[in-house]
Amino acid sequence: MFLCSTLLSSNMEVPNPIAYVATKLGVRVEEVNFVFCQCTALIYSYLFRWYLNPRWVSPTSRHLAQILLGLSLACVSFGWGVFHILLGAGVAYLMILFFNPKMMQYYVLVFTILHLSWVHLYMQVRNAGVGNLDYIGPLMILTVKLSALAFSIHDGFTKDEASLTKLQKELVVRRYPRFLEFWSYIFCPQGLLVGPVCFFSSYIDFIEGKNFSRKVKDENGEEKIIFDEPSSKWAVTTKLLFTVFCCIVLVKVAPKYPIMANVSDEVLNRSFLYRFGYLLLSIEVAKSKYFTAWVWADAINNAAGLGFSGYDKNGHPTWAGITNVDIVKFQTATSLKMLIDNWNIRSAKWLKFVCYDRVPFSKRFFTFLLSAIWHGFYPGYFATFISAPLFVSASFKVRYLVRPYFLSSTQLKLFYDVITWACTYISLAYVIVPFSFLKLDLTLKYFNSVYWCLHILCLLILLTFPSKPKPGKHKSGEKTDQNGLSTPHQGDYAHTNGAPSIRDVVSDTQGTEGRKER
């Protein structure tokens, strides 16, 4: 009793275990906090899948478990920032419930973007940067969830099945979310900190076990529904091993080649080739940060049973349903479109769903604009998003004119692929580096140091190379794509499709979709 009284009456503070570990390891508290929360989510996901399985536990119990852990992790990770999550989600939920579904989706989108923008600007004025693992990232995810849900409900209440696009049919919601369903979706611990975003229709199927239900025919030819839940052990194990590898690169290698050194005197005083070489190396090791976060989060979702995407041709289960980055396709991309299509996949799907497929004109312009605002207002972001359409347009123009000359043999095609891979790799590093610089003076300093060479090259290509034919039909009736090549396929994420000229970047008209009154 005396010891307890002495401790309570003294000014000694109870040590924070996370701060203690961070001090011992020499890292930031936020980083230890992030690792702790993700490890907790991983362990919980396994327990959630096996002990709260939808075969023997009600959806209500699963929703309550998701809310309790998600809210706890949010309080630990964001502190008072959790009120931004509660405020933004609460206001949007009221809009969804009480506003007319014909226009409700626009109010929700505008509100969530304005709320996110206010936080972006507040942090920017405070000079807080973007690497603090604070609540901005989760608030960006929340913006995606809420606006996508609003558009899904709008489609469900104002459109019939025939008027929906393929993506709209996938995401459509034909009833209002119940209270527990909504907050379980918002605080889903598997994707709370860094995503990837699971859209509402898929999330409810996961909670109710419908993602593992499928129809089969018995020996009498009658259809019946069976519950087929394959193991995700292999997917989770491989993704966790890759996460460990990326963590090692992030901790041991990335600090030796910081991106900010690209504008340091030590690098700028070297030769042009050395500066470009250092840029490529620094960008490559910096990718480990995103790979670590996204692949780890993907493993957490798979451990809970989220992300099952069917079976491959050999009958093995695949778990790429909510993957945010396809590492192999991204690292081996031979075009900027292929590269963009395999990076931040879930956000690209959101942009297509709420913007590209809905605006009646200048589709690519408004989609890039929404993406830029969603990321924040640092000049470095806008430098990248303004440059991206220019580079994509130029790359498609070159592809249309040059690629046919390399298709006559396997060797020539391989040579072409190697060259285009190298050009894509260099272009990515060149155009993405302002994302880390953030500030305008540093961005201009870097581009001046490399003489704006790739910007000038892209402008020359767009101004001097012949224009591509617009999509249409040859005289034979064979369909052509935007490259003038005979193919019926276009990219899944149309906002990243290449534009044939500068004009097409800011002008891409298309008829509006028919609407059915409620």
What is the mean pLDDT of each successive set of 10 residues along the chain, which is 518 residues long? 40 57 70 90 95 93 97 90 94 96 96 95 76 78 97 95 93 96 96 92 94 74 76 95 95 92 92 91 93 95 93 88 92 89 93 94 87 91 88 88 89 92 92 89 92 94 81 47 39 34 34 36
- What residues are paired with 226 via a beta bridge? 214
Residue 176: what pLDDT?
96
Residue 248: what pLDDT?
93
Per-residue DSSP letter, 355: I
CB 458 within 8 A of CB 505: no
Residue 496: what pLDDT?
34
Q: Using CA atoms in the order 456, 460, 461, 464, what is the torsion angle rounded to 10 degrees?
A: 180
Residue 8: what pLDDT?
38
CB 278 within 8 A of CB 257: yes
**Secondary structure class of 506 (helix, strand, coil):** helix
Q: Which residues are catalytic?
A: 344, 375
Residue 127: what pLDDT?
72
Tell me the CA distances in angstroms from 279 to 245, 253, 268, 286, 290, one per residue in order.
Answer: 22, 14, 11, 11, 17
CB 392 within 8 A of CB 496: yes
Q: Which of 67, 33, 34, 38 is nearest to 52 (CA)?
A: 67
Q: Is this structure's pTM higher than 0.75? A: yes
Tell me the CA distances in angstroms from 259 to 48, 378, 422, 435, one per residue in order.
Answer: 40, 17, 20, 10
d(CA 186, CA 330) in angstroms, rounded, equals: 29
Output the six-digit token pair for 367.
């989609």
Residue 414: what pLDDT?
92
Which residue type is seen at 88? Answer: G
